[in-house]
Structure 1
Amino acid sequence: MKPEIAVIRIKNLRLRTFIGIKDDETQNKQDVLINAEIHYCAMKARNSDNMDDALNYRTITKKIIALVEHNRFFLLEHLTGQVLDIASEHDWVDFAQVEIDKPHALRFADSVSMQLSYHKNND
């Protein structure tokens, strides 16, 4: 029997943080838009209906919120990597992907985004 892969998607989590290197960016919080996708085997949770057998997306989201709102970041790469670390920290996670948009970072563009992925190494 193949394992049943669950996909958790955290969509459009809107937060504010200090992100960037210019003076106005280091002095004023900016909006960021976070999307995360987390894959894990959900067979046990599906069969038990027990929260202990599932990844708790609320707990993951609260960790992301605390990280983003209580820190300062120069680079979008660093912020995205830190959020990816949270999304992929549980042993059950086989794959995670995070994309963070920084709206209005460039003139004439809606946003700039950074996307990073994690793949469990099954050696």
Structure 2
Amino acid sequence: MQNAIITITNLRLRTYIGFNPEEQEKKQDVILNLEIHYPGDKACSNDNVEDALNYKTITKAIIDHVENGRFLLLEKLVSSVLEITIEHPWVTYSRVTIDKPHALRFADSVSLSLSWQKED
């Protein structure tokens, strides 16, 4: 089996993230990195669009969810994005990492990752 891996790098969005009063009043930047695996045999051999996982559809759903949402915890945001990435039945593995730039005074960002793997 050919394992196709879609990687979306540095998807920059804005959302309400955090529980401090100033965080709930102003949208903040977040940076998403996604890795989604699915069986790519048919798409690789047939060159048929119907046999490939549509990363544009997944990305649009994520953008809508993140930019129109409000999240107290980075864990909830990452978990909900992971759920969107695994909605399609072909997905066998997904990993989502979201960075929250400037969350700590002396760090470039704080990030959280969650992954999911389909059981055999």
Is the structural similarity TM-score above 0.5?
yes
> Which residue pairs with 1:16 in the alignment?
14
Match among 57, 60, 63 for residue 61 of structure 2:
63
Distance (whole Å) between structure 2 residues aligned to residue 102 and residue 77 of structure 1: 11
Give secondary structure in 1 for the equivalent of 2:92. strand
Unmatched 5+ stretches in structure 2? none
Instruction: Report how far residue 47 of structure 1 moved.
Output: 1.3
Distance (whole Å) between structure 1 residues aligned to residue 49 and residue 20 of structure 2: 44
Listed one character per residue, the Cα deviations across residues 6-27 of structure 1 (whole Å, up to 9, x for unaligned) are 0000000000000000011000
Give secondary structure in 1 for the equivalent of 2:88. coil
> Which residue pairs with 1:117 in the alignment?
115
**TM-score (norm. length: structure 2):** 0.98
> Which residue pairs with 2:104 in the alignment?
106
**TM-score (norm. length: structure 1):** 0.96
> Which residue pairs with 2:85 in the alignment?
87
Unmatched 5+ stretches in structure 1? none
Distance (whole Å) between structure 2 residues aligned to residue 56 and residue 66 of structure 1: 16
Give the percent of matched residue pairs that are identical in Structure 1 and Structure 2.
57
RMSD over aligned Cα atoms: 0.5
Instruction: Report how far residue 51 of structure 1 moved.
Output: 1.0
Match among 24, 27, 36 for residue 26 of structure 1:
24
Distance (whole Å) between structure 1 residues aligned to residue 68 and residue 49 of structure 2: 28
